Amino acid sequence: MIEIANLSRSYTTGDVTTAVLRGIDLRIDPGEVSVILGPSGSGKTTLMNIIGGVDRADGGRAVVDGLDLSGLSDDGLTDYRRARVGFVFQFYNLVPNLTVGENVELVAEISPSPLDIDEVLGAVGVLDKKDRFPRALSGGEQQRVALARAIVKNPKILLCDEPTGALDYETARSILALIQRLNQGYGTTTVMVTHNTAIAAMATSVFKLRDGVIEEASTGRAPAPAEGIRW
């Protein structure tokens, strides 16, 4: 599903060029739950943004679902993000003046093959909150809505950037369990970016980044139930 080969990315500020990714190689198979681990500044979010078609690499190849992202135009990347990628962020990014149902419906309308809105809201446990506004929800409920919004697109890939970073411990574990159930229920290839090493236990493959390189890769793992994760 995801094949990365010799991927590089640098940023230039003034006269200073900083290498963020330096020759990344990885492979993620369809239906996997993968975790990209690393401290702040390791390059993990940049890697996720390239996989998601939000950023472009300077060199190397990123092939996702058979598409070579480096060969796509800006319009092509927009179509790729719209049709194939679901995003979940640390801070939810819900539209505050839209209800739960409207937040999810907004994304469903731009997808070529969306899932049923009520089905997805039920799957994440917030169908009864469909007519509420985000401000009336807890942080955990908002993140459930964010997951519903990502999944309703029926994406090939779900990208989660620190999805539990803004949540308390028990709520964070419940969200991880939900991500695992959604993966099992819909078969969506799931990639989580995090600094929390404990989350690696629920993954079938783990890639540890530091200073823009993969220090360690572990694949073919037997994932543990997310409910049992402790940190």
What's the confidence (pLDDT) of residue 220? 94
Q: What is the CATH number of the domain that holds 168?
A: 3.40.50.300
Backbone angles phi, psi at 171, to 5 degrees: -65, -40
Sorting pLDDT into bands at 50, 70 and 90, what band is 90? confident
pLDDT digits (tens, 9 = 90+) for 51-70: 999 999 999 999 999 999 99
For residue 13, tell me if it sits in a domain.
no
Interatomic CA distance for residues 47 and 41, integer angstroms = 11
Report whether pLDDT(85) > 90: yes
Structural domain for 213, as ranges: 28-57+82-228
Mean pLDDT, the chain, whole residue set: 95
Provide the 10 A C-beta neighbour count for residue 135: 9
Phi-psi domain of 43 (left: phi exceeds 0; alpha: psi -120 through 50; beta: other): left
Mean pLDDT across the stretch 186-201?
Answer: 95
Assigned domain for 75 exists: no
For the chain, what is the largest distance between any 2 Cα atoms, rounded to a whole number of angstroms? Answer: 54
Q: Is 210 left (phi over 0), alpha (psi -120 to 50) or beta?
A: beta
In a domain, 20, yes or no: no
Question: What is the predicted pLDDT for the residue at 166?
Answer: 87
Q: Is 197 part of any domain? A: yes
pTM exceeding 0.75: yes
| 68-82 confidence digits (pLDDT tens) | 999 999 999 999 999
Q: What is the pLDDT of residue 87?
A: 95
Q: How many structural domains comprise the chain?
A: 1
Residue 172 lies in a domain: yes
Residue 188 within a domain: yes
pLDDT in tens, 150-183: 999 999 999 999 999 889 999 999 999 999 999 9
For 29-48, the pLDDT digits (tens) are: 999 999 999 999 999 999 99
Confidence check: pLDDT of 223 > 90: yes
Q: Classify residue 69: in a domain, yes or no.
A: no
Digit-coded pLDDT (tens) for 5-30: 999 999 998 989 999 999 999 999 99
